[in-house]
Amino acid sequence: MISRQNLAADTHSASTIDMKTIDPNRYERQLAMPEIGEAGQHTLEAASVAICGLGGLGSAASLYLAAAGVGRLVLIDHGAVELSNLNRQVLYGDDDLGARKAARAKERLARLAPSAQLDAHDAVIDLASASTLLADVDVVVDAMDNFEGRHAVNAACVAHQTPLVHGACAGFEGRVASLLFEQGPCLSCLYADPPTQDGPTPILGATAGLVGAAQAGEAIRVLLGVPALAQRLLLVDTARWDVRTLIVKRRMDCPVCGVGSADGE
């Protein structure tokens, strides 16, 4: 885990960090990016990110976070791999059917990032468990498929003041936001009345992959101190390639983060 002070710091200020553990071949293409470089790569290596939900969004997000060199991933899901998952949950294959997702995700990601610390939790995420599961991470990725779990994660992140990268998709449409709680909003501000869910959500796998990859990219930007979607909600309609962002702000009457907020408006 990296300190909150360093989380928000300018990446380029970390010039005194010991560089010897970075593999220059593995991360060659990131080290060449001025926005990352050696200091940024060390920031990622020292970072800890939780992925809540290892389905379509969580598959893409965890693969790209592991590939980018994030040092520790906390993998949380309480499901088994089903045949109907495989159109979008690219962590798994036919030989994983019936297996627990958290364990198989850990195996898959270890092949991609053998030096990463991968903590797998076959656990239900609810109000009772979220605070403990998410206690010591720098960023949380919300890749869940139900609002009960999402709101438990949100409450834990507000309590711990941990940045939450929200993602959701249905059909050809997706959305992503960085919820940075010192300035708001939180997930409950965005969804005062969570949509009701009647049966499985129709999803094209490519849309889930797009949103999950966007979440990984945004989580990395949060870790580097340069979030692109703070107080903005990205909306993508891949049926028409309509991409836009909405300004989103804290609701003063939000039951989770709004009461007594000094900077809410």
Question: Using CB under 5 A as the criterion, which residues of the chain lie in contact with Zn ion when the complex forms?
Answer: 186, 188-189, 254, 256-257
In the complex, least distance from residue 261 CB atom to Zn ion, rounded to whole angstroms: 8
In the complex, least distance from residue 108 CB atom to Zn ion, rounded to whole angstroms: 34
Q: Which residues contact 229 (CB under 8 A, 6 or more apart)?
A: 165, 176, 177, 178, 218, 245
Q: Which DSSP string do the residues of 164-215 spell out, in sequence order? A: EEEEEEEBTEEEEEEE-TTT---HHHH-SSPPP--SPPPB-HHHHHHHHHHH
Edge-to-edge strand ranges of the sheet holding 117-122: 117-122, 72-77, 48-52, 139-142, 164-170, 173-179, 232-237, 242-247
CB 172 within 8 A of CB 204: yes
In the complex, least distance from residue 179 CB atom to Zn ion, rounded to whole angstroms: 8
Taken as a whole, the chain contains a residue count of 265
Residue 213 or 256 having the CB closest to Zn ion: 256
Strand pairing class (139-142; 232-237): unpaired
Point out the residue whose Cβ comes nearest to Zn ion: 254
Residue 73 or 139 having the CB closest to Zn ion: 139
Residue 67 or 230 having the CB closest to Zn ion: 230
In the complex, least distance from residue 96 CB atom to Zn ion, rounded to whole angstroms: 37
Residue 23 or 253 having the CB closest to Zn ion: 253
In the complex, least distance from residue 173 CB atom to Zn ion, rounded to whole angstroms: 23
Strands (E), the chain: 48-52, 72-77, 117-122, 139-142, 164-170, 173-179, 232-237, 242-247
Residue 117 or 161 having the CB closest to Zn ion: 161
Residue 74 or 180 having the CB closest to Zn ion: 180
In the complex, least distance from residue 154 CB atom to Zn ion, rounded to whole angstroms: 8
